[in-house]
């Protein structure tokens, strides 16, 4: 049984569909007073984190600090109703702010327009069920991107710590200019910045001495996905995360947020981890966070003018430095060296422009993926009777390679083998191009007096080959049997136990498929 | 042994490399007088075919007739030295002429520039060994393209048969205008055109009564590839065709041809079939053909003015009509219905613009390919102990789907299974994203008290998983053994025969990979 899920009654399926669109219906009826306290504490904690971060990230996006807060409350309210994970929090993030800075040109109007447009695209993707596109962003690309972004964002703040002005945005120019003008450092800014950095590092050190919350590590990895595609895929609940629903939630939050002067928001992995660690029970915690942000907007905006940039810089640096994962290079070297290619490509291109890095990484990993499909592993054994076993399914880009390998082995060997057995054990599906290629291979080998037999065919593959009515097609249940019969009958004539045109079983199958 | 070919001594390899670049070195030393006669006959036959076709195809390309002949001789000479197939002939073709007409704007200068540029691209592709890109054009795309082109080209000539002028180039406008102005038909043109068509159809009918040459059928299918990528892949020889060398040959012919006012040329499948059927022995036949074309250019150009367009139209129509393959729709319905999608997309888009058809077809078949990789078949069996068997290798786009299927089956079932066995029998390679996904799956299931065991791991996959040092990773040689041990130990503790951190075998493997 090749199945995707168990059958279920229609009414339950309908309810499940409604709950999928409005996940709040899933947890609200079960809401218990005990959860309220935990949600309150978590909401306040996240709120106290988001206010300074929002002010700082607005600086990264090249916008006035209040825009950070404008962007921080809509997501909390929307996610409470539409989100599928209890601990994900939407809002401004360091990397999204970096991306926004490329398009906002220090003008909030462009940033708000960007919010509206990206929200519309996310809504459309969610409604069209295009969430599966996220699957095509591989881990090495995410890792390369976040590591490079952490360096770019941190270095971007060095100028604020040193109190330098007029440093260009492009990374390499920035490094050059910052180093060239390091003599112009303003001591006040530098001292304040370094003290803040040290204080934050001290707090982080104290936190790491506490017993670790075991579930935050994989959460962080998974939550990285949030940033690129602004979609949450993390799951700490019994219910599974639905990427299309997350796209809908974020898209709706962005579209709605654009009416409140928000710049584009997404799931924040830092605050999501804080939320999970404080023991949030439902997305209701977001309501508390949102209320806290609104309160700060009401009573604190006049103070924003006095926030020192060097202090914000320290907040940003200490938030993004842990995103740099130096160990990934060693891990990939051990586990899968080829994956170092998309990692390095993404990492390096990101220093040029972050967007180019992601696009280049996705392209490179796509090319490697297609290459592995075009060149599947082929096991070739034997001399008199050649056994050829493809290690995976045959898709159309692979058939020319298979033919080349078989022909070069069969025709260049002296003495040439009298028969070849193609072990289709690992082939779960084939397409028309493969069928045509196999037909031509059969014909070419027969011309040289070499027989080709197929063995261990899965039902679907056998049906396709029988429907194609290949000339001289012979197949056997196992390669042992194929070797016994095929080896004795070079040239492809006679003694074919399931010859496609002679036995009743296969002709039945055949007719069943013709009509 | 996962091998690509047998080892061979260095000197032989070097000689083989030289022969690959200059295939003439392969057959010239073996040239026998007996072959000369056959090559002469084949060369003359192809020459007599190419002269009228070249004149006609120049019309399709929107160029004066002599440009057809300018394009017909360089390819013959170049292919004789650089080509790898004995019967392929390079020159102007109907479909290439159709493509050229979109870019030449009836001005030979643009056509010649196009020849030079496309030749440079082909040379670069051949030198960079990008021939494997041809593998990504599937049969349905080729079939849809050639079928649509045959209709487009034929209908394009109807105006010449009817003697109509000023008909637009775009297919739909062309059909509309031709039908609207059918009353303006010039009787003389129409009678001449229909008589020529009838004569050619009669000749074709006579030919089909002759005993068939068994090897031309697959040749035509394969030679279709020539047209799209202007690369020959057909093989009637003992030596295999090298697509990179073919690209080099065609690229060189185009670059050189551009100095002789040629428009872009490629392998012609009509004339290649004629060549094969006349029994050509080596590419030397091309020298005779080329000489014949040069003779016609020297002595016949003054007569070109008097060739009636209706007669050329009849030549073109009878050459391209057999390219339409009505049976392909029925064949795909029987063999692989999904392949009807790229076929129909290519076929329909080609009526808009031929280039768009090819691009759309390649994109659609690429998307279907990626989708089949992102959603591999999963066999799920059992209740208490769930057996999950992916039907093919796991690439990074598939891991989220696998996790979703396993989690939804494991967590939604009541009673939930106590253990899950992942049968990795068909998995020949995995990447880092898959490893991370499996680690998270292990963790998630353990949180719900469900154990996950791996069985039937291939060496490479086992090594990658051991190198990643997954927490709670347990594997067994077969699923029977996994079921016996895993079922007895829910929760993942104890009794793991190859626990990644305890036994000597695996730790050896592990250390071997760390360093």
d(CA A194, CA A307): 16
pLDDT at residue B299, as a whole number: 87
- Tell me the average pLDDT across B315-330: 87
Ramachandran class of A390: left when φ > 0, alpha when ψ lies in -120 to 50, beta otherwise = beta
Name the minimum distance, in Å, from the CA of B188 to any CA of chain A: 46
Bridge partner residues of B476 (DSSP): B455
The string of DSSP codes covering A58-103 is: HHHTTS-THHHHHTTSHHHHHHHHH-S-SS--EE--HHHHHHHHHH
H or E segment and range at residue B266:
strand B266-267
Helix runs in B375-478, H state only:
399-412, 432-447, 459-468
Answer whether B152's CB lies under 8 Å from B352's CB: no
Nearest neighbour of B369 by CB, restricted to A395, A412, A444: A395
Taking contacts as CB-CB distances below 8 angstroms, the residues of chain A near B2 are 377-379, 391
Instruction: Identify the CATH number of the domain defined by range A376-511.
Output: 3.30.750.24
Q: Which of A3, A369, A372 sits opposite B380 (nearest CB)?
A: A3
HSE (side-chain half, CA atoms, 13 Å) at B338 = 17
Distance from CA of B468 to the nearest CA of A (A): 6
Distance CA A152, CA A145 (A): 10
Task: Please list the residues that pair with A476 across neighbouring strands.
Answer: A455
- Mean of the pLDDT values across residues B213-233? 41
Name chain A contacts of B341, Cβ cutoff 8 Å. Answer: none
Instruction: Tell me the CA distances in angstroms from A372 to A338, A401, B395, B429, one per residue in order.
Output: 11, 12, 9, 9
Asked if the Cβ–Cβ distance from A432 to B393 is below 8 Å, we say no
Q: In what order do the strands lie in the sheet with B419-423?
A: B378-381, B385-390, B419-423, B451-455, B475-476
Inter-CA distances, B231 with B133, B245, B449, Å: 11, 9, 58
Contacts of A443 in chain B (CB under 8 A): 218
Q: What is the per-residue pLDDT for A248? A: 92
Rg (CA), chain B: 30
Strands B475-476 and A90-91: unpaired
The Cα of B87 is separated from the nearest Cα of chain A by a number of Å equal to: 16
Contact between A374 and B398 using a beta-carbon 8 Å cutoff: no
Q: The tokens of A50 are what?
A: 């988001």
Q: Which two tokens stand for residue A145?
A: 């991107």
Which among A293, A247, A321, A302 is positioned nearest to A68, based on CA atoms? A293
ipTM greater than 0.85: no
Given a cut of 70, the residues of chain A with pLDDT beneath it are: 1-8, 211-231, 233-241, 486-515
pTM: 0.77
Mean pLDDT of B191-198: 92
What tens digit of pLDDT does each residue of A93-145 get?
A: 888 898 898 888 889 999 999 999 999 999 999 999 887 888 888 999 989 98
Residue B215: pLDDT above 60?
Answer: no
Tokens found for residue A414:
């002296």
CATH 3.30.750.24 range(s) for chain A read: 376-511
CB B163 within 8 A of CB B157: no
Q: How many CB atoms lie within 10 A of CB B454?
A: 25
- Give the pLDDT of residue B122: 92
Mean pLDDT of B132-147: 88
For chain A, report the end-to-end CA distance as a whole number of angstroms.
23
pLDDT at A206: 86
Question: Tell me, what's the pLDDT at A272?
Answer: 82
Give the Cα separation of A139 and B440 in Å (integer): 13
What are the chain B neighbours of A235 within 8 Å (beta carbons)? 444
Q: Give the pair of three-digit tokens for residue B209.
A: 């009564």
Q: Which of A334, A400, A430 is opposite residue B135, by nearest beta carbon?
A: A400
Inter-chain residue contact B5 with A405, CB threshold 8 Å: yes
Of A467, A486, A464, A491, the closest CA to residue A475 belongs to A486
* Cα angle for residues B151, B152, B155 (degrees, 5° grid): 80
The two structure tokens encoding residue B389: 């068997």
Query: Cβ(B272)–Cβ(B89) under 8 Å?
Result: yes
- What's the residue count for chain B? 515
Task: With residue A5 as reference, give the H or E element that holds it.
Answer: none
Helix (H, G, I), strand (E, B) or coil at A501: coil
> In terms of DSSP H, where are the helices of B339-398?
340-352, 354-374
How far are the Cα atoms of A208, A324, A419, B98, B493 from residue A212, in angstroms, in the given order? Answer: 7, 20, 62, 69, 22
SS3 content of chain A, % helix, strand, coil (to 5): 65, 5, 30
Q: How confident is the model at residue B512 (pLDDT cuts 50, 70, 90)?
A: very low
CB-CB: which of A1, A365, A380 is closest to B379? Answer: A1
DSSP 3-state assignment of A278? coil
CA–CA dist A433, A395 (Å, integer): 8
Predicted confidence at residue A486, as pLDDT, reads 59
Per-residue confidence (pLDDT) for residue B363, from 0 to 100: 94
Q: What are phi and psi of B215, to 5 degrees?
A: -95, 5
Does the structure show a pLDDT above 70 at B488?
Answer: no
Contact status, residue A406 vs residue A372, Cβ threshold 8 Å:
no
| Contact yes or no for B6 and A404 at CB 8 A | no
* Gap between the terminal Cα atoms of chain B: 23
Cα B483 to its chain centre, rounded Å, is: 45
What distance in Å separates the CA atoms of residue A506 and residue B387, rounded to the nearest whole number? 30
B370–A398 CB contact, under 8 Å: no
- Among A6, A217, A335, A470, most B C-beta atoms within 10 A, so best to mutate, is A335
* For testing contact with chain B, the best of A396, A425, A429 (most B CBs within 10 A): A396
Mean pLDDT of B93-106: 87
Q: How far is CA A444 from CA A271, A474, B165, B280, in A?
A: 64, 15, 49, 18
**Between residues A1 and B54, which one has the greater pLDDT?**
B54
- Asked whether the beta carbons of residue B392 and residue A339 sit closer than 8 angstroms, the reply is no
Residue B118 has a pLDDT of: 94
> Residue A492: phi, psi to the nearest 5?
85, 10
Output Rg (C-alpha) for chain A, integer angstroms. 30
Closest CA to A297 of A71, A8, A494: A71
**B89 near B46, Cβ under 8 Å?**
yes
Q: Cα(A309)–Cα(A58) distance, rounded to whole angstroms? A: 11
CA atoms within 13 A on the CB side of B13: 6
Helix B285-300 × helix B74-82 angle, to 10°:
170
| Bridge partners, B423 (sequence order) | B455
Q: Go through chain A and tell me how many residues it has.
A: 515
pLDDT at B175: 93
- On chain A, the residues whose CB falls within 8 A of the CB of B440 are 218, 221-222
Which tokens in the block code for residue A419?
């028969």
- The position carrying tokens 């609940």 is A237
Half-sphere exposure of A80 (CA within 13 A, CB side): 16
């Amino acid at each position: 049984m090749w199945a995707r899920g168990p059958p279920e009654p229609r009414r339950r399926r309908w309810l499940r569909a409604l709950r999928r669109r409005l996940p709040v219906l899933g947890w609200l009826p079960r809401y218990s007073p005990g959860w309220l306290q935990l949600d309150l504490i978590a909401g306040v904690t996240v709120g106290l984190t988001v206010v300074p971060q929002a002010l700082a990230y607005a600086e990264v996006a090249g916008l006035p600090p209040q825009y950070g807060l404008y962007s921080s409350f809509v997501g909390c309210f929307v996610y409470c109703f539409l989100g599928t994970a209890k601990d994900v929090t939407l809002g401004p993030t360091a990397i999204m702010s970096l991306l926004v800075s490329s398009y906002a040109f220090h003008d909030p109007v462009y940033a708000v327009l960007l919010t509206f447009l990206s929200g519309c695209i996310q809504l459309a993707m969610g409604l069209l069920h295009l969430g599966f596109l996220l699957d095509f962003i591989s881990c090495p690309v995410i890792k390369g991107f976040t590591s490079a972004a952490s360096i770019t964002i941190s270095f971007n703040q060095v100028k604020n710590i040193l109190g330098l002005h007029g440093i260009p945005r492009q990374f390499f120019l920035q490094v050059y200019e910052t180093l060239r003008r390091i003599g112009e450092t303003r001591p006040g800014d530098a001292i304040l910045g370094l003290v803040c950095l040290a204080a934050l590092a001290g707090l982080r050190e104290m936190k790491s001495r506490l017993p670790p919350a075991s579930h935050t590590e994989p959460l962080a990895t998974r939550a990285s996905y949030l940033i690129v595609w602004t979609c949450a895929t993390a799951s700490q609940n019994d219910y599974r995360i639905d990427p299309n629903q997350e796209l809908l939630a974020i898209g709706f939050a962005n579209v709605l947020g654009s009416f409140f002067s928000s710049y584009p928001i997404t799931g924040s992995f830092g605050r999501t981890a804080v939320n999970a660690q404080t023991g949030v029970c439902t997305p209701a915690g977001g309501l508390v966070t949102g209320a806290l942000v609104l309160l700060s907007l009401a009573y604190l905006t006049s103070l924003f003018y006095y926030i020192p940039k060097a202090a914000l810089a320290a907040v940003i640096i200490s938030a993004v430095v842990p995103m740099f994962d130096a160990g990934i290079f060693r891990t990939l070297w051990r586990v899968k060296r080829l994956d170092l290619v998309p990692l390095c490509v993404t990492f390096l291109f990101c220093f040029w422009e972050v967007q180019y890095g992601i696009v280049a990484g996705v392209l490179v990993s796509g090319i490697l993926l297609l290459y592995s499909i075009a060149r599947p592993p082929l096991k070739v054994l034997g001399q008199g009777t050649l056994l050829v076993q493809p290690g995976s399914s045959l898709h159309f880009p692979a058939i020319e390679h298979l033919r080349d390998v078989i022909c070069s082995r069969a025709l260049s060997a002296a003495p040439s083998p009298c028969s070849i057995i193609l072990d289709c054990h690992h082939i779960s599906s084939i397409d028309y191009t493969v069928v045509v290629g196999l037909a031509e291979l059969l014909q070419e080998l027969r011309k040289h007096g070499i027989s080709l037999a197929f063995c261990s065919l899965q039902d679907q593959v056998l049906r396709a080959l029988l429907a194609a009515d290949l000339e001289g097609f012979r197949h056997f249940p196992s390669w042992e049997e194929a070797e016994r019969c095929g080896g004795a009958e070079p040239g492809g004539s006679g003694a074919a136990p399931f010859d496609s045109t002679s036995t009743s079983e296969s002709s039945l199958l055949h007719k069943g498929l013709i009509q």
